[in-house]
Copies of this chain bind each other. A is one copy, B any other.
Amino acid sequence: MLVSYTEENYLKAIYSLSRLYNDAEVSTNQISEHLKNKAASVTDMLKKLSDKKLIDYKPYKGVKLTDKGKKTAIKVIRKHRLWEAFLVEKLKFKWDEVHEIAEQMEHIQSDELIQKLDNFLGNPKCDPHGDPIPDAAGKFSVQRSIALSSAKQKNSLVVTGVSDHSSEFLKYLSNSGISLGDNLKIEESNGYDRSLKIKVNNKHSLFLSHKAASNILVEIK
């Protein structure tokens, strides 16, 4: 069964929104905002994806991916991240320049291509943003990181990635002197606006809004 470019983008959106909220149902409006389409258009597509057994859809109740839909979404994510790795490792793009191009390349259809690309890159476990790359069977072999904003522990956090890949955000990070692999310590946690004061690599400190902190992924070292 063929899944169009557009359908793939919907499945990808549903997958990542669902992950974001603990594998919960995803609402029409969430998808609409994420893809910058109108809610009515989303409803149309949900019906179509439901007919194809890629999602479980009950009107007004949100959607969840079926196993088939999840498999398709993870495959697209695998392709996206492998192409990002290729662009950075081999073609020497900066990590904040590759997202848009990978958005196009992730839709190239050829299982053999993706397998050969994976081998060519040495079967990487993560992409240049630190996001884990699933294998051909859809298995993620490395730990998923958590948002800095939700870290319970205050010390010994390591930046492993971002959840906002916009070049605006990535530029903001590099201007703030935060990059992949940096060590973070939470020095203060502001209750009322949930902003954080962070020490980077035991050197300089800075303030991060909740919004920024929620888009920085860390692992506990």
Contacts and interface: CB of A to CB of B under 8 A. Distances in A.
Nearest to A105: B108
A108 B101 contact: yes
A92 B108 CA distance: 18
Nearest to A115: B91
Interface of A: 87, 90-93, 97, 100-101, 104-105, 108-110, 112-113, 116-117, 120
A116 B104 contact: no
A4 to B, nearest CB: 13
A117 B101 contact: no
6 contacts: A91-B113, A91-B117, A91-B120, A101-B110, A101-B113, A105-B108
A92 B115 CA distance: 12
A145 B117 CA distance: 32
Nearest to A109: B104
A85 B87 CA distance: 16
Contacts of A92: 116
